[in-house]
Structure 1
Amino acid sequence: MARGPLSKLTAAAALVAMLAGCSDADFTDTEKRTIASMSLSALAPLPPDPTNRFADDPGAAALGATLFFDTGMSRDGNVACGTCHKIDRQFQDDLPRGKGVGETNRRTMPLAGVARDPFFFWDGRRDSLWSQALTPLENPLEHAGTRTAYAHYIKRRFGERYERIFRPLPDLSNLPASAGPFGTPAEQAAWAGMTDAQRDGIDRLYSDIGKAIAAFERSLVHGKTRFDRFTDALAQGRQPSAGDDLTSEERQGLRLFIGKANCSTCHTGPRFTDNHFHNTGVPPVSGLFEDRGRVAVLAEVQADPFNCLGKFRDGGEEACGELRFMQKSSPELVRAYKTPSLRGVAERPPYMHAGQFVSLEQVVSHYATAPKAIEGETEIHPVALSDREKAALVAFLKTLSE
């Protein structure tokens, strides 16, 4: 008599084990290949940066880390790169718009994996990690400093260290305390009054500052999440451990992400970004300056003296393919912004280039309804998603942060 219930229990246990072993049965082989391509395990090693010969120099990276967190690298002595790129917040600040010396017009972007980007900022106005690092230093709303002021500061605080890594410092004895191509009219006039050789020496030192900060930023990488552990198990044909498995809702969201919802069209690969620029009809923020996105900075990135084709690049011009062959005019670039990585996305609201949406639910709703762009043509189209499907998408996105 006792064997009946025992047999039922044994059969039930066998069924559970069988179902567990077939936990990936709801994904087709094609879906499994797509999912595997999105795991961090599929990420290729970080390539060298031939435009920055100090990119993988430990000494340069250490100096770059010091400069990154040094508030002395600003006009008022209160702003560092780390002011907006907070080390405990995925190197971003949780604000709709970044705040340095003043409030900027854009959301602070996280920095993990940033060394893999071909263009930088929401609009791609710089084409290398080291040239990007220089831009906020002179921006009047961010660090608001000047090139000669930074040169004097480097000599005073880090002179020996700088020369050990890079080169002898230029002669600063007769240079203005604060001068540069930006800043106050007096500072710009002082810059114009310097000789070509003096300006060239300061620009060389200034580019080295960017290369040191870039060497540090190359060390900022994504960490594996529950999605990656689940994906690796799926690819290896084994059952994920209990803490790494995806719930049925999260699996539904993953299937929607790579299928019906079309999210992976742009949010693709291990970093969940195609590194391109898209008009997705995101509304502007009332009161901010007109922001036309990528189309407004095409001339700026080509004219930047620190771009890949400029004289401060290390290595040959063969490294400058992205700049030489970038899309230079197209209606699609109007109000187009960079596709951000979705890794860690659940932990860094608000969203979009100026913090327009406060929750992932609002983001998903925007992409489902696909409102018209105020200028140009949006690339997204309405997708009929039920409330349950929208919730599943949000549930899946959260697995990229755990």
Structure 2
Amino acid sequence: MTGLRTTVVTGAVLLLSGTLLAFKQAGIVWTDAQKAQILSLSLDSLPPLPDDPSNGYANDPSAVALGAALFADTRLSQNGKVACASCHLPEKQFQDGKAVGQGIGTGTRRTMPIRGTAYSPWFFWDGRADSQWAQALGPLENPVEHGFDRAAFIQVIAAHYKQPYEATFGPLPDLTGIPAHASPKGTPESVAAWARLRSQEQDRINRVFVNGGKAIAAFERTLQPLPTRFDRYANALRSGAPTEALFTAQEAEGLAIFIGKGNCINCHSGSMLTDNHFHNTGVPAKPDAPDGDRLAATSLVQADAFNCLGAYSDAPSEACSELTYMQADGADLIGAFKPPSLRGVTRRAPFMRSGQIKTIEEVIIHYSAAPPSVTGKSELVPLNLSSRERRALTSFLRTLD
């Protein structure tokens, strides 16, 4: 552990060199530095919801209502059975508990939870989208998720959402000559139909499609993280209230490992318990799941017509600093993926980007052993956690539910 080592006491006060605060939890005394780290992870330290300058409707209540309806609408899929809510289940922290997503087909990546994602500058495991609305559009046209296309999307809007759409975004464009199916992505037939459209017709379709994504994003911004027992513990530390009834000795020991010897806070920092960057942690890809990574994704987000600098963004170029100054290459991006928030993590088995690890205990064993990465170079270093330390760390992680 870095800094002063957390000290377990069973009797009278144990004097250590340095300044100790009078915060004891089941025998643990926190230093000033440790207390600051703990408080930085609590929801009370969460900053205000950031603006999304690329989405001019991000905080519009009518867009939120429309987005909530679109989020749950199975008509926005090829087979009429798949909605965003099919994989992002409220009762499962807006994910699905499956190793990989299951839409009209089987995906290759795990469904990520979406509470609190409005605080992230990058979306998907590899960060190939730079806004919630750009991310929302991807699954709609993914052949194994919704399997839909943007021309079909605007037909659904016109048939079922004309009034709420126009109340939010203004009049729908003239759909004369717009085919039932057309998209630059998707089936050969829809791609061919898209190519036959004039650029003005393509733009009309894109505008409605993008507005739908912005409405879904407005709804997703309302899905904020929920307080946990850890947050109550941190709040008690902040106020000086008693903490003995809030954590067991094992949970407090696990917290000490989390912010110290375990190096967990290096990637899982801040109130959302993720640094929103990209890391290689040596988890090999599934043999049957082709694996992109952050290095591959940087060119995708740069080329995305729906990125912050694109024609469909509401942001001035100077507001797109994340994209403008994005690291686009480098060995550290090989095999790197975004760590999801750890809030509620122990209820989200299996784990990692394709469900490669079945239990939280096995995840901790992997991080403790730090095996070399098959692709690129792992950032992990061996921790050699004892079985007691691994159990304590698992106990702490359960307080994040």
TM-score of the superposition, structure 1-length normalised? 0.93
Partner of 2:116: 113
Q: Which amino acid aligns with 2:278?
A: F
Q: Which amino acid aligns with 1:143?
A: H
Q: Which amino acid aligns with 2:295?
A: V
Q: Deviations over 1:112-160 (max 9, x none)?
A: 1011110000000000011100000000010011111111110000112
Structure 2 residue 63 is the aligned partner of structure 1 residue 29: no
Q: Which amino acid aligns with 2:399?
A: T
The residue correspondences of 1:126-275 to structure 2 (distance < 5 A) are 126-240=129-243, 242=245, 245-275=246-276
State the shift of 1:241 in Å.
7.0
* Paired residues of 1:292 and 1:334 also in contact (CA < 8 A): no
Q: Give the Cα–Cα distance (whole angstroms) in 1 for the partners of residues 52 and 244 of structure 2.
A: 38
Q: Give the Cα–Cα distance (whole angstroms) in 1 for the partners of residues 23 and 208 of structure 2.
A: 60
> Hey, which bits of structure 1, 4+ residues long, moved more than 6 A?
none
SS in 2 for 1:26: strand
Q: Please, which of 90, 95, 99 is the counterpart of residue 92 of structure 1?
A: 95
Q: Give the Cα–Cα distance (whole angstroms) in 1 for the partners of residues 23 and 316 of structure 2.
A: 53
State the shift of 1:171 in Å.
1.1
SS in 2 for 1:338: coil
Structure 2 residue 357 is the aligned partner of structure 1 residue 360: no
Partner of 1:5: none
Identity score, percent: 50
SS in 2 for 1:277: coil
Q: Give the Cα–Cα distance (whole angstroms) in 1 for the partners of residues 375 and 131 of structure 2.
A: 29
Partner of 1:305: 305
Moved more, 184-193 or 387-396: 184-193
* Paired residues of 2:282 and 2:378 also in contact (CA < 8 A): yes
| Superposition RMSD in Å | 1.2
Which protein shows a greater Rg?
1
The residue correspondences of 1:291-302 to structure 2 (distance < 5 A) are 291-302=291-302
Partner of 1:326: 326
Q: Deviations over 1:144-192 (max 9, x none)?
A: 1111111111000011211111021111121111011112111111100
Partner of 2:85: 82
Gaps of 5+ in 2: 1-11, 13-21
State the shift of 1:23 in Å.
2.6
Q: Give the Cα–Cα distance (whole angstroms) in 2 for the partners of residues 355 and 281 of structure 1.
A: 14
State the shift of 1:207 in Å.
0.6
Q: Which amino acid aligns with 1:359?
A: T
State the shift of 1:237 in Å.
1.3
State the shift of 1:22 in Å.
5.2
Q: Give the Cα–Cα distance (whole angstroms) in 1 for the partners of residues 318 and 173 of structure 2.
A: 29
TM-score of the superposition, structure 2-length normalised? 0.93
Q: Deviations over 1:61-108 (max 9, x none)?
A: 000000000000111100000000011110000000000010100000
Q: Give the Cα–Cα distance (whole angstroms) in 2 for the partners of residues 241 and 386 of structure 1.
A: 25
Q: Give the Cα–Cα distance (whole angstroms) in 1 for the partners of residues 176 and 204 of structure 2.
A: 13
Partner of 1:102: 105
Q: Give the Cα–Cα distance (whole angstroms) in 2 for the partners of residues 182 and 398 of structure 1.
A: 42
SS in 1 for 2:90: coil
Q: Which amino acid aligns with 1:296?
A: A
Q: Which amino acid aligns with 1:326?
A: M
Q: Give the Cα–Cα distance (whole angstroms) in 1 for the partners of residues 23 and 244 of structure 2.
A: 13
Q: Which amino acid aligns with 1:280?
A: T
State the shift of 1:286 in Å.
2.1
Q: Which amino acid aligns with 2:99?
A: P
Gaps of 5+ in 1: 1-14, 16-20
Partner of 2:8: none
Partner of 1:278: 279
* Paired residues of 1:292 and 1:336 also in contact (CA < 8 A): no
* Paired residues of 2:24 and 2:30 also in contact (CA < 8 A): no
SS in 2 for 1:396: helix
Q: Which amino acid aligns with 1:374?
A: V
Q: Deviations over 1:236-292 (max 9, x none)?
A: 1110373xx111101110000100111101100111100000000002112222x13
Q: Which amino acid aligns with 1:148?
A: A
* Paired residues of 2:150 and 2:182 also in contact (CA < 8 A): yes
Partner of 2:16: none
State the shift of 1:315 in Å.
3.0
